[in-house]
Amino acid sequence: MIYIIIVIASFLIGFNFSVISGTIVFLQDVILKTPFQQEVVVGSLLIGSFLGLICIASFIDWFGRRNSLVISYALYFSGATLFALSDTIDGLVVGRLLTGIALGASSVVAPMFLAEISQKEKRGGIVSLHQLLITIGILVGYLANYLIDETGAWRTPYAFSALVSGLGLFGAVLSKKFHFTHEPQRDTKKLIILTPEIKRSLILGIILASLQQVTGINAIIFYAPTLLLQEGIASRDIALFASVGIGLVNFIMTIFAIYFIDKLGRKPLLVYGSTGMILGLIISLWGFYEIGTLLYIASFATSLGPVVWVYLAEIYPERYRGRLLTIAAFFNLFFNAVIAFTSLNIIDRVGVPGLYGIFIFFLILGIFFTLRFLPETQGKSLEDIEHIFKKRS
């Protein structure tokens, strides 16, 4: 039961990322009349995420895991309700900001809590449940957009989001099992002491978290229907349906990653997945956009999607884990925001090939980084991983 309560937050992360892609299509020329207005509504979620990291996630070691989830669910509920009732850009932006604050907090606490309550032999798969539920949320968001295409009832998915967050809030507050879950004692009174091993783990985590975003995944997630329309591949209804396929592939391949991450290891999945992402982007540039996009999404779902969050939940020492993971998540969300605010402008200036060229460049850097600097953490306890970083430093 405790796993369900935690991963509801993961589901809401994915749902709120993807559902906005259809909302933009429905509200073009009605409320969101310019690309800038569209980017502001999309990007306000990321701005809120920064606030969530600063105001909530930074204090997870003080608040505790459960209390942080309770706050997150309350904000998810408030943001979804406001967005569903809004008729102005201001209301839409504030609703997305509140949702973003919740997203920033839950993106840290969910994988961290899963890592801390799982056995080392199963930790990779259990922490990957965070990414799996994100992909389910993305899929449900795309599917909701497609189902309401004929009616244009764009408020309905946000009412659904409010309902789900209300269930999560109810579970986190009332579950007796959650109340008695042990949380390790942490040194919350002292500032982080940047020993060589902590510096190493912090830098590796920041680079890894940044690579997950600068390689382009959320350009596809946020703007999948828009990119399909931009390329002249599909009408609106077909573009929305195609985005459902993207979400479905993302979900199925994440299940594959969960099964193999504790068998093959973290590094092989990162290298093979990044290579597949490069091939997918190249195939798209050759004109086979649908096939290339699906290969790119499938490769991400088996590599940078789940593996990054597993690594981030593993490599930091227990006494500072909440604060160090928050720093890495900040960079993840920062580059997520950069992608959200700039993708459409980059396409306007240099086209889709220019945008994809940037992503390929960072994927090549990511492969080199993985092979050269990342340790393998498969089958090791959190204490053993901490010792590895002390040894290497």
C-alpha triplet 271, 272, 276: angle, nearest 5° = 115
**pLDDT of res. 279:** 97
User: Which domain CATH number covers 24?
Assistant: 1.20.1250.20
Residue-wise pLDDT tens digits, 42-77:
878 888 988 888 877 667 767 677 888 889 999 999
Longest Cα separation, the chain:
60
Residue-wise pLDDT tens digits, 371-389:
999 999 888 888 888 888 8
CA trace torsion 207, 213, 214, 220 (10° rounding)? 160
pLDDT bucket at 180, cuts 50 / 70 / 90: very low
Name the token pair of 323.
């604060």
Residue 196 has pLDDT above 90, yes or no: no
Domain membership flag for residue 343: yes
Query: What pTM was estimated for this model as a whole?
Result: 0.79
pLDDT bucket at 225, cuts 50 / 70 / 90: low
**pLDDT of res. 153:** 86
Domain membership flag for residue 347: yes
Cα separation of 149 and 152, whole Å?
A: 5
Q: Which residue has the tokens 């969300």?
A: 333
Range of the domain at 87: 2-180+191-392
**pLDDT of res. 186:** 53
Residue % of the chain over a pLDDT of 90: 34
**pLDDT of res. 158:** 95
Residue 82 has pLDDT above 50, yes or no: yes
What value does the mean pLDDT of the chain take?
85
Domain membership flag for residue 372: yes
**pLDDT of res. 284:** 87
**pLDDT of res. 383:** 83
pLDDT bucket at 354, cuts 50 / 70 / 90: very high
Q: Bridge partners of 28?
A: 32
pLDDT bucket at 1, cuts 50 / 70 / 90: confident
Domain membership flag for residue 186: no
How large is the average pLDDT for residues 279-304?
Answer: 90
**pLDDT of res. 10:** 94
CA trace torsion 243, 21, 280, 305 (10° rounding)? -100
Domain membership flag for residue 103: yes
Domain membership flag for residue 185: no
**pLDDT of res. 182:** 47
Residue 188 has pLDDT above 70, yes or no: no
Distinct helix (H) and strand (E) counts, the chain: 16, 0
Residue-wise pLDDT tens digits, 126-137:
888 988 999 899
Residue 191 has pLDDT above 70, yes or no: no
Going by C-alpha positions, the residue among 209, 132, 131, 148 that lies closest to residue 19 is 148
Q: How many domains does the chain have?
A: 1
How large is the average pLDDT for residues 233-251?
Answer: 70
